[in-house]
Amino acid sequence: MNAASIGIENVNVGPVDTPQGHTWQPYPPAQVDVLVKLAKDIVTRYKIPPTRVVGHSDITPQRKTDPGPAFPWRTLYDNGIGAWPDDATVAQHLAGRDPKSLVDVAALQQKLQRYGHDVATDGVLDDKTRHVIAAFQMHFRPADYAGNPDAQTDAIAAALLDKYFP
């Protein structure tokens, strides 16, 4: 992947343990501003599709957790960089389900694979699948990235597929 990608190194302390628990350090606004300008130039110059703007954890979720759940993916999207699901479409796919209710693992694996993740579609909730789900959640739902195959994750994946891979 490194031979065919452009990497931007963002300096961040990452996860730290505090008396309140495991937390992630925020990215300073000045750093985010520079990142937006640089990334916007790169994606425009090289015509990089939104779904190809990814982090280490999206590519190698078994080994990497960066840039982590504090990374401002939504801010990048709001500035024309990367992919993000439409809230209304997520709500439509959620269809009144409890966001935390568990879903069929194979169906979620299929959505994640179609979106571009390297994951089996065998319906087994093994460590590899949990890491892929957690990476996806860190990117698109950073408030809860436990790797559980829940309805909200399923709805987000479906909304992304509708938008970028109809």
Q: What is the CATH number of the domain that holds 107?
A: 1.10.101.10
d(CA 38, CA 95): 38
Domain of residue 52 covers 17-57+67-84
- The tens digit of pLDDT for each residue in 13-62 reads 888 888 877 789 999 999 999 999 999 999 999 999 999 999 999 999 99
- 131 and 78 belong to one structural domain: no
Domain for residue 90, yes or no? yes
- 145 and 129 belong to one structural domain: yes
- The tens digit of pLDDT for each residue in 64-97 reads 999 999 999 999 999 999 999 999 999 999 999 9
Question: What sign does the dihedral 55-61-66-71 (CA atoms) show?
Answer: positive
Known catalytic residues are: 9
Please calculate the CA angle 68-107-83 and round it to the nearest 5 degrees: 40
Per the structure, how many domains does the chain have? 2
Domain for residue 5, yes or no? no
- 89 and 150 belong to one structural domain: yes
- 89 and 53 belong to one structural domain: no
- 161 and 98 belong to one structural domain: yes
- 156 and 93 belong to one structural domain: yes
